[in-house]
Amino acid sequence: MIKVKVVGCGGYGGVGIVELLLRHPEAEIQTLVAATETGRPMGELYPHLDGFCDLPVLTPDDPAAQVPADVVFFATPDRVGMAQAPAELARGARVIDYSGDFRFDSAETYAEYAGRIGLATEHLAPELLGESVYGLPELNRSAYRDDQRLVGNPGCFAVGCILGLAPAMAAGLVERNSVICDCKTGVSGAGKKPSAIHHYPARYENMQAYRLSGHQHVMEIERALGQVAGEEVRVTFTAQVVPVCRGILSTLYGTLREGVGPAQVREAYEEYHRGNHFVRLYGRDAAVGTAHVRGTNFCNLVVDVDERTERLRVVAHIDNLMKGQASNALQNMNLICGLPERMGLDQPGAYP
Amino acid sequence: MIKVKVVGCGGYGGVGIVELLLRHPEAEIQTLVAATETGRPMGELYPHLDGFCDLPVLTPDDPAAQVPADVVFFATPDRVGMAQAPAELARGARVIDYSGDFRFDSAETYAEYAGRIGLATEHLAPELLGESVYGLPELNRSAYRDDQRLVGNPGCFAVGCILGLAPAMAAGLVERNSVICDCKTGVSGAGKKPSAIHHYPARYENMQAYRLSGHQHVMEIERALGQVAGEEVRVTFTAQVVPVCRGILSTLYGTLREGVGPAQVREAYEEYHRGNHFVRLYGRDAAVGTAHVRGTNFCNLVVDVDERTERLRVVAHIDNLMKGQASNALQNMNLICGLPERMGLDQPGAYP
Amino acid sequence: MIKVKVVGCGGYGGVGIVELLLRHPEAEIQTLVAATETGRPMGELYPHLDGFCDLPVLTPDDPAAQVPADVVFFATPDRVGMAQAPAELARGARVIDYSGDFRFDSAETYAEYAGRIGLATEHLAPELLGESVYGLPELNRSAYRDDQRLVGNPGCFAVGCILGLAPAMAAGLVERNSVICDCKTGVSGAGKKPSAIHHYPARYENMQAYRLSGHQHVMEIERALGQVAGEEVRVTFTAQVVPVCRGILSTLYGTLREGVGPAQVREAYEEYHRGNHFVRLYGRDAAVGTAHVRGTNFCNLVVDVDERTERLRVVAHIDNLMKGQASNALQNMNLICGLPERMGLDQPGAYP
Amino acid sequence: MIKVKVVGCGGYGGVGIVELLLRHPEAEIQTLVAATETGRPMGELYPHLDGFCDLPVLTPDDPAAQVPADVVFFATPDRVGMAQAPAELARGARVIDYSGDFRFDSAETYAEYAGRIGLATEHLAPELLGESVYGLPELNRSAYRDDQRLVGNPGCFAVGCILGLAPAMAAGLVERNSVICDCKTGVSGAGKKPSAIHHYPARYENMQAYRLSGHQHVMEIERALGQVAGEEVRVTFTAQVVPVCRGILSTLYGTLREGVGPAQVREAYEEYHRGNHFVRLYGRDAAVGTAHVRGTNFCNLVVDVDERTERLRVVAHIDNLMKGQASNALQNMNLICGLPERMGLDQPGAYP
């Protein structure tokens, strides 16, 4: 059994990975760590886990929190993982970090990312950036090394945008700078910490765009698509929040290159995602919505061409807390531990 | 492997049991039958099952629908199961029916039930009523025979009310005719069929009571509590609908008998539910809500005494589609097939 | 024109009275005061008021906040109004306070109230308690003096419970200590301040009871009903929160006295509420819900008798921010300023 | 007083105009007509109107429904207004139609519209098309004639898209064929009739795109923008439904023409909407959402430039049942009856 430590277990990303690990046949939760609300059993902090996971939530400096693990998930904000990952790696762990800390492969790129969103630009463990991998298997499974021990789990918005646009970029279907990502997220994407704008009455029957001046996930979308396209890509990205708990609906647009039609589009998507079990493709008339991926690791893509305006339109559906975070992280664990990629993840969710 | 037929697979009760069977280690779905929306694969009717269950949905008279099964679930309205159960039993199946058809043990009792709610009062298979069992294991596990082959799965409201009040009745804690059940259900309890009152805008930010003149689940609550109490019990029952999808919150009141205090109450509940894995007990200060049982077979009970007014107050939380329907039905399948009662059910749900 | 000051304009109770005053033909908002988020125009704090109310939000000690007003609303937490009301009264204002500060008519009663809910028990302006009136006109319009200058606006839960039960108490329909109030509120009742339990994802698809150990509105319900009944009354009260923004659904139960039947009940309610324009009475089959009073000063009562158990059952519907708070406060303003009681309040709301 | 008849009073568009007329100082509802649910008072069909509007709902062929009115609103589906408008005009009424029947000025254009969305292409009153006006005052107030007696009220999606893009088109800010309209609507936009896809549980926590193959409002958007631009315009339009009741959030994109920057954009929008009281302009950092226009005739526009990609981005917020339907229709009534445009409309809504 793989022994797992979860740092940041008290947030939504933490509880998500705990839920998944509880039903994973080859993993076992060994240690839970958080910065706040410590000293109580996990099943008291999250009553749905009562009887399933009653391990105590430890403070980071608790001696019991130092026990070596086989895999450590950092379900933590930016700049926590980079501070603690070196010690965990030194103890022999593999590390999967949820934040932007290990999504970029050089100190320069990190500095650009951090600068854009107002973080300190100096990476605290630059020596690790060369061995980290961007953790979206459907995009770059081949980039994972046999002994991969460090993964930067992608941003929730990035997952849907990249899975929905990479096939078009790879096949050169669209003008590279014509891409617009119009994304709508449920409120859980903002995390567990209460705030005025995520207070229940403030969100009720309310939809709005936010961070128009720049969202932290844009850069990784542009970098990933640019790598696939083989040239620099810039996208217009709009984050919007709608009053549901879970789900991201990303509507993605690009101007088709001269002569590209629906058949070619369909073919390119089928080819690109052929080996990607967790991506399901649909035509324009399919009645699919975010409820159909809720609680799962799936990304459903409706692939469409607006022939009147010669545009590609792809609608990507994910659960922001699953494929956008915890279940994708578990998929990464499977990959870097040599387990079947789908282990513990191949479940349909519940409806309605 | 147990081969299973689901009749009425197109409704919420049907899709619920399909979801659960897909992850059950000893069962296999063999046949899906419905009265409408037939001829398509289940995974097209319910896109979240796409790739997980692509069996065709058959009409009841399709020859393929007649193949004998080990277990047949009737996820159907009143008076469907009673018409078809005899044939299924004759083919050797065990039958679990979701409706009121097999919840009562005599034609007279059935007639009273049916008459109260405006159904035809004649039972179509009265000879089976003697061998059916009321299917709430936490109430009457001992009433299941070794060769039990017919179960009347309880009504969703009844589950929470009975689990929340049976301990008090068994221990004689409250005046037997002082009981009030104030129940709030999510909209999925009304089923899949569209109607004016369950249209999205009509329910949005709307709470209301309904069927004040009499709800179909009252009689089974009274009968179950009466059997536990050893004397006739009448309850005031109020059904209310609130704008969520899943969940029933039942707040249950009873006047404490002279001299009964909190300690005795707590003890009675702990004793009664000691062997009931799927019942969790909490004190008045616990921060539990219906979200903590969503997607699970659990019933969470907050057990409280209002000492100022000398009343017992129990707050019961269930998922109406799970413990109130499909997962309880699966628990019944486990019991009558000689499998561990918790098989395929022991999962914590997802939060938030 | 009546010149109005609103203290605590930044909360939901404050913005509610501002909205109502903007359409009141005889009142004019002169001064807005708040403890936080000051220094900006009201229409920036609440963008729906942009262009309608762009007065600045002043700090309490701003000289401009001291300008005498004809009416001062304290839309503030407990113990703010009692500290500032004497000065406002001295300047000639009439005062309407939203909190528990002026709901009780003696220092002893206040102390009991405050003690129950953990506040300091000493009233800061005990000399005013004798002239304050409990501000629920449908209960005690006749208690308002001609020169009434101080009103304690009732608690939101109390409004529905009292309007729904006072007729029964007045007519002696029910056993006085048999009353149970099962109340479900939308989240806006908890106010504007963010907290973990009112964070959007924490409330989504979640229903729960809270403060089982004692709610601050119980005492005023008991006192009001006791005054009507002419003897002490104790009620079992349960507060529950459901994931809507606005609305309180209160289901009220009482054991009918020997010989009391539906006709007598109906008659008592019609008689009691005959002059109460803002109370609408319905029978058990009416399809009314909280959405039908949203945004209005109405209280809809479904009056029912459960004949099987000989209980009175009344379902009271209000908008917690309107009849439960701001619009009731405006009704009080009309009354104490000699204006028609319905002025500025007689509107139907919007649906759906 | 203007005497008003509402045909189609039983739908959401009908009840919306009834609510508004009830508070309009110069109008009086005289006749209510509907095709279904007739024979009952309006206040029984819509209980929030109980006591406010208890006129009976008449069938279209009821003699009382033929009484001449000053203004007739057809809150009806396509092809009802065109059949009945000639008779109403002949009786001397002014007519405001909610459907596509009178949004186009020639039989040919109508035929194109109708053909796109699968309706019969023959207009039943082609002789009236020349005198009808497209009823979006902020776009084309000057096109209303002094004796204007027929108005085609715009489609709900069209309102936000046109108000958000017309300034850019008028000032030549963007490439004319670069426009994308990504629109999210609440469920009330689908009307009152129950259906499987708008059933409460089917919409709960569900977001999805629909009618990707072509939406009925696209053509009027293209026509209006083309008229403003002075050349043909084609837009990519995506309709999406999110689980709220009211509101449309339209995010609008266009590629800026060479050299166009934020200052020029801001100026163009301010100039275009200077006289448009019901349009409010905001910068990218404003915290405005659809809740801030709910229940009102306002359209809030966040006007932004994504400088990295040189795109205009406008976020338009309306209440689909108000500015997207009923309140815009009332604004039209004011205009064609010579009343102040804002009469009965200048209200801020309620929050939260």
Distance CA B117, CA B104 (A): 15
Question: In whole angstroms, what is the distance from residue D135 CA to residue D138 CA?
Answer: 9
Q: What is the pLDDT of residues D188-217, one digit of tens each?
A: 999 999 999 999 999 999 999 999 988 889
CB pair distance less than 8 Å for D187 and B203: no
Q: Which residue of C has its CA nearest to B312?
A: C236
Of the candidates C184, C185, C215, C172, the one whose C-alpha atom is nearest the C-alpha of residue C312 is C172
Q: Indicate yes or no: CB of B315 within 8 angstroms of CB of C209.
A: yes
* Residue appearing with tokens 């002169």: C30
Of C193, C202, C245, the CB nearest to A204: C245
3-state secondary structure at position B266:
helix
CB-CB contact of C314 with C301 (8 Å) = yes
- D51 CA: distance to closest CA in chain B (Å): 20
Type of residue at D278 = F
Phi, psi (rounded to 5 degrees) for C237? -125, 130
Q: Does domain D157-318 have CATH number 3.90.380.10?
A: no
CA separation for the pair B67, A279 (Å, rounded): 35
What gap in Å lies between CA C83 and CA C308, rounded to an integer? 52
Active site residue A156: yes
**For all residues of chain D together, what is the average pLDDT?**
97
Residue D89, amino acid: L
Query: Which of B199, B242, B244, B290 best tests the D interface by mutation, with the highest count of D CBs <10 A?
Result: B199
Q: Which of A9, A53, A156, A183 is catalytic?
A: A156
Nearest by CB: D12 against C49, C291, C352: C352
Tell me, yes or no, if C48 comes closer than 8 A to chain D by beta carbon. yes
Beta bridge partners of D209: D240
Integer Cα distance of C69 and C85 in angstroms = 12
Q: What is the ipTM of this complex?
A: 0.97
- Which among B23, B50, B351 is the nearest to A48, CB-wise? B351
Q: Tell me, what DSSP letter sits at residue C154?
A: P
Mean pLDDT of D13-37: 98
Amino acid at the residue A125: A
Name which of B299, A14, A200 is nearest C202 in CA terms.
A200
Q: Is the distance from CB of C248 to CB of C156 less than 8 angstroms?
A: yes
A208: which strand partners? A241
| CB nearest to A212's CB, from D213, D244, D304 | D304
Contact C309, C326 (CB under 8 A): no
> Hey, are the CB atoms on A234 and D308 less than 8 Å from each other?
yes
Chain A, residues 60-119, CB within 8 A of chain D, namely none
**Does the pLDDT of residue A214 top 90, yes or no?**
no
Asked if B152 and B125 touch (Cβ cutoff 8 Å), the reply is no
Write down the residue that tokens 């980290």 correspond to.
Answer: A132
Domains C2-153+325-336 and C157-318 fall in the same CATH topology: no
> Which is catalytic among the residues D53, D156, D183, D299?
D156
Characterize A314-352 residue by residue with b for buried, 16 or more Cβ atoms within 10 angstroms of its Cβ, and e for exposed.
Answer: bbbbbbbbbbbbbbbbbbbbbbbeebebebbbbbbbbbb
Contacts of B349 in chain A (CB under 8 A): 19, 48
Among the listed residues C9, C53, C156, C181, the single catalytic one is C156
Coil/strand/helix, residue A301: strand
Q: pLDDT tens, D144-175?
A: 999 999 999 999 999 999 999 999 999 999 99
Instruction: Give D194→chain B minimum CA distance, Å.
Output: 5
Residue the block writes with tokens 């939809």: A207
pLDDT value of position C336: 98
Closest CA to B137 of B249, B299, B257: B299
Find all residues with CB under 8 Å of B102, minimum gap 6, and list them. Answer: B81, B82, B85, B95, B128, B129, B132, B150, B151, B152
Hey, is the C-beta of B204 within 8 angstroms of any chain D C-beta?
yes
Q: Parse chain A into domains and list their residue ranges.
A: 2-153+325-336, 157-318
Question: What does the block give as tokens for A52?
Answer: 């399933």
- Separation between Cα atoms, residue D172 and residue D167, nearest integer Å: 8
Nearest to C98 by CA among C78, C71, C70: C78
Provide CB contacts within 8 A for C313, sequence distance 6+: B212, B236, B238, C251, C252, C253, C304, C305, C306
Consecutive 10-residue averages of pLDDT for chain C (352 residues): 98 98 98 97 97 97 97 98 98 98 97 95 98 98 97 98 98 96 98 97 98 92 97 97 98 98 98 98 97 98 97 98 98 98 97 97
The secondary element (H helix, E strand) that includes residue B162 is helix B156-170
Q: Does B188 touch chain C (CB under 8 A)?
A: no
State whether A206 and D285 contact (CB < 8 Å): no
* CB-count exposure of residue B130 (10 Å: 0-12, 13-18, 19+): exposed
Dist. CA A292–CA A246, nearest whole Å = 11
User: CB distance D47–C15 less than 8 Å?
Assistant: no
Residues of B marked active site are found at 156
B198 touches chain D (CB under 8 A): yes
Taking one residue from A and the other from D, the number of pairs with CB-CB distance under 8 angstroms is 152
Cβ separation B201–D194 shorter than 8 A: no
Q: Which of A14, A320, C204, C245 shows the shortest CA–CA distance to B290?
A: C204
Q: What is the largest CA-CA distance in chain D?
A: 64
Contact A317, A125 (CB under 8 A): no
Measured between CB atoms, which of A194, A243, A245 is closest to C196?
A194
pLDDT digits over B158-203, tens only?
999 999 999 999 999 999 899 999 999 999 999 999 999 999 999 9
- Quickly list H helices, chain A: 12-22, 42-45, 81-90, 107-116, 137-140, 156-170, 200-203, 218-229, 262-272, 326-336
Kindly report whether the peptide bond that precedes residue C352 is cis, defined as omega within 30 degrees of 0.
yes
Task: Of A240, A179, A161, give the one whose Cα is nearest residue D309.
Answer: A179
User: A258: distance to nearest CA of chain C, Å?
Assistant: 45
Compute φ and ψ for C297, nearest 5 degrees.
-95, 10
Q: What is the CA radius of gyration of chain D?
A: 20
Give the pLDDT score at A147.
96
State the smallest CA–CA distance between residue A151 and chain C in angstroms: 28
Contact B313 C249 (CB under 8 A): no
Q: How far is CA A144 from CA A28, A58, A184, A186, B209, in A?
A: 23, 32, 30, 31, 57
Beta strand pairing status for D150-152 and D94-97?
parallel
Residues of chain D in contact with residue A236, where contact means CB-CB under 8 angstroms, are: 253, 306, 308-309, 311, 313
Instruction: Quick: pLDDT tens for D265-293.
Output: 999 999 999 999 999 999 999 999 999 99
Does domain B2-153+325-336 fall into CATH 3.40.50.720? Answer: yes
Regions of chain B short of the pLDDT cut 50: none
pTM higher than the cut 0.95: yes
Using the beta-carbon criterion (under 8 Å), do B249 and C240 form an inter-chain contact?
yes
Is the backbone peptide bond immediately before D352 cis, with ω within 30 degrees of 0?
Answer: yes
Closest alpha carbon within chain C to D289: C47
Neighbouring subunits of B (3+ Cβ pairs under 8 A): A, C, D
